[in-house]
Amino acid sequence: MSENPFRTLSTSTPFVDARCSVRRDDFEVSGGFRGVHLVIEIPEAVCVVPVLRDGRILMLRQWRYTVMEQLWEVPAGRLHPGEAVEVGAARELREETGHTPGRFERLGTFYPLTGISNHRGHLLAAHDCEPTGALDLEPTERIEVVPMERERLIDLYQRGEVRDGFTSAALARYLLRSKSS
């Protein structure tokens, strides 16, 4: 099916916040069914797999309020309005790890929550990362940076200990792409 089966009848925005908004669409689908769809609109984001010159990957241990757990993650965050993908990726990498990349490799894009959100993530690998300074964390961020050998990371991933969606998508793309390296 290549044609859009939905026709939007009306749109409103009942909630707006600095981090997201909620759009309410009244729609009709081919065949006559009418319904309401709520869409959480979140700005585009970047997710970066930081790779050191020796091949280790910088992983983050980060406490997440939303799930009340400490999770394994890689640096990620929303793009600022008008910010280029690589610029946002370099900013997030520097803020959350204190490193800068030698170069970026794009790993593609993905939609983490297509049933409820139009949020899109850009996945990148940052190669030849070098330390450049201290972390620059937001007041609510609690992050420990852990350099990790590829084999240990694959073990964590296979045991299901990497549970963050952005991190899982970025690592899967990176590990599959670099499998033969």
Q: Which of 16, 71, 78 is nearest to 44 (CA)?
A: 78
Q: Are 125 and 99 in contact (CB under 8 A)?
A: no
Please indicate, yes or no, whether residues 104 and 127 belong to a single structural domain of this protein: yes
Please indicate, yes or no, whether residues 85 and 37 belong to a single structural domain of this protein: no
**133 pLDDT band (50/70/90 cuts)?**
confident
Render 130-174 in DSSP notation, one character per residue: EE-S-----TT--EEEEEE-HHHHHHHHHTT----HHHHHHHHHH
Q: How many helices (H) and strands (E) in the chain? A: 3, 11
Please indicate, yes or no, whether residues 93 and 151 belong to a single structural domain of this protein: yes
Calpha distance 93→73 (Å, rounded) = 12
Calculate mean pLDDT across residues 138-164: 92
Residue 142's pLDDT is 86
3-state class (DSSP) for residue 103: strand
Please indicate, yes or no, whether residues 73 and 32 belong to a single structural domain of this protein: no
Calculate mean pLDDT across residues 37-63: 96
Please indicate, yes or no, whether residues 34 and 109 belong to a single structural domain of this protein: no
The structure tokens 């394994």 sit at 72
Q: Measuring CA to CA, how many Å separate 69 from each of 65, 96, 114, 163?
A: 7, 18, 24, 11
